[in-house]
Structure 1
Amino acid sequence: MNRKLLLALLFLFTLLKLSAQEKNNAFKIGFNFGFGSEFNNRNYTFTNHFYKMQLYYTLKEKKNFQYEILVQPEVNFGKHQLLNFYFVQPFEPDYLEKRERFTKLKTVHEYVLNLGFLIRKPISKTFSFYVLGSIGPMITDTETERMSEGFAFADVLAVGFSIKADRFQFDFRPSVRHVSNAGFNDKNAGYNTKNIELGVSYGL
């Protein structure tokens, strides 16, 4: 699965690079690093850090707004622990064993391909503000009391601030993220986290 994903991403990058040669200013490629944690609650903890490739394409530029689409391959490294063992109900099979297993700290790896739409408002030639929404398929490698192992979705809503310096763009991006599997698997309570991302991109 990992090799196929890497080959698909390499193919996508190659296509975007070739297209960028024809539309010189429409594409940007970049890299983001982020970290976050769950919203305060009594049931669980979830902290994470992640790395994203950023592939921007400018759909349209108007006087006051700019519209972009964004492809974001992501690897997310999480730490999760069940705090409230009553979340595992007695009617579940082997509920005592599950309570003991799920209350231990776990490492969770997530592999995501988010597709986003971004509306940017230039403030000056150097600064801009934007709103970003994205959604994409995800594979998680660890079962918890809130999520089954395997296929899921990651949804992100973010605001961001950009600074341009020649062909480089530097980003500061607070966001909220929801992860669940839309009912495809048994456990679907999901996670909700607040995150901060820092990134840099380069205009092709």
Structure 2
Amino acid sequence: MSRTLLLGLLVFLGVFRMCGQEREGNLRVGFNYGFGSELKNRNYTFTNHFYKAQLYYRLKETRHFQYEVLVQPEVNFGTHQLLNFYFVKPEEPDYLEKRAVYTKLKNIHEYVLNIGFLIRKPINKSLSVYFLGSIGPMITDTETERMSEGFAFADVLALGFSVKAQRFHFDVRPSVRHVSNAGLGSSNAGYNTKNIEFGVSYSLGKD
């Protein structure tokens, strides 16, 4: 997994260097922390907390809106447990052994590189709201009844609130998240979670 983290860091630094060559005031860097749990269901539990680096780049600003690209390397720590063992069907090979394994509580690590598009609506000089959609490749280190180990994708939709104080921006961001592997693995039911995250970012250059 160290190679995955190194790749994410290299991508982050590469985009940072590219954007840093643009005109001043378009770039912000920051850090977010968040946590959440599964959307209500009877089949499984999933709780998580995560850390995200944040790299914002403002593409365009009009009279009423700002449009930004957001790069987010992320490490997600989850706990998962199968509740409904009938989710593993008898026609599956070794289904009794799989039920015994999958109903145990598991720790899951996810390594993600999300790329997002953000539409921001300023309310005044200090307060703004925004809508964010992001998608990115992910590596998960644990196989469960819902998803195979290895490569997958994370999709996030969020509504955020931001307060600006000089060059600092403080964010609160409720979101919903879907994780699956798009059929690339043998198990692809995935996870659906509701999350909230808190963050701070710093504007580089002149505003």
Q: TM-score range by the shorter chain?
A: over 0.9
1:151 aligns with 2:142: no
Asked whether the equivalents of residues 52 and 75 of structure 2 are also in contact (C-alpha less than 8 Å), the reply is: yes
**Change beyond 3 A, Cα 1:4–1:74:** closer
Unaligned residue ranges in structure 1 (runs of 5+): none
TM-superposed CA distance for 1:14, in Å, is 5.1
Q: Which amino acid aligns with 1:66?
A: Q
Correspondence list, 1:27-176, <5 A: 27-176=27-176
**Change beyond 3 A, Cα 1:106–1:4:** closer
4+ long deviations beyond 4 Å? none
Other structure's SS at 1:104 match: coil
TM-superposed CA distance for 1:2, in Å, is 2.1
For the residues of structure 1 that align with 2:111 and 2:167, how far apart are their CA atoms? 29
For the residues of structure 2 that align with 1:188 and 1:116, how far apart are their CA atoms? 23
Asked whether the equivalents of residues 127 and 163 of structure 2 are also in contact (C-alpha less than 8 Å), the reply is: yes
Other structure's SS at 1:3 match: helix
Partner of 1:184: 184
**Change beyond 3 A, Cα 1:7–1:169:** same
Deviations 1:95-134 (A, max 9, x none): 0000000000000000000000000000000000000000
**Change beyond 3 A, Cα 1:7–1:86:** closer
Deviations 1:55-112 (A, max 9, x none): 0000001110000000000000000000000000001011000000000000000000
**Change beyond 3 A, Cα 1:6–1:121:** same
Other structure's SS at 2:116 match: strand
For the residues of structure 2 that align with 1:129 and 1:57, how far apart are their CA atoms? 16
How many residue pairs align between the two structures?
204
For the residues of structure 2 that align with 1:143 and 1:188, how far apart are their CA atoms? 11
For the residues of structure 2 that align with 1:47 and 1:144, how far apart are their CA atoms? 14
Q: Which amino acid aligns with 1:68?
A: E
For the residues of structure 2 that align with 1:150 and 1:11, how far apart are their CA atoms? 20
TM-superposed CA distance for 1:19, in Å, is 3.6
Unaligned residue ranges in structure 2 (runs of 5+): none
For the residues of structure 2 that align with 1:125 and 1:177, how far apart are their CA atoms? 30
Root mean square deviation of aligned Cα: 1.3
Identity of aligned residues (%): 74
**Change beyond 3 A, Cα 1:100–1:28:** same
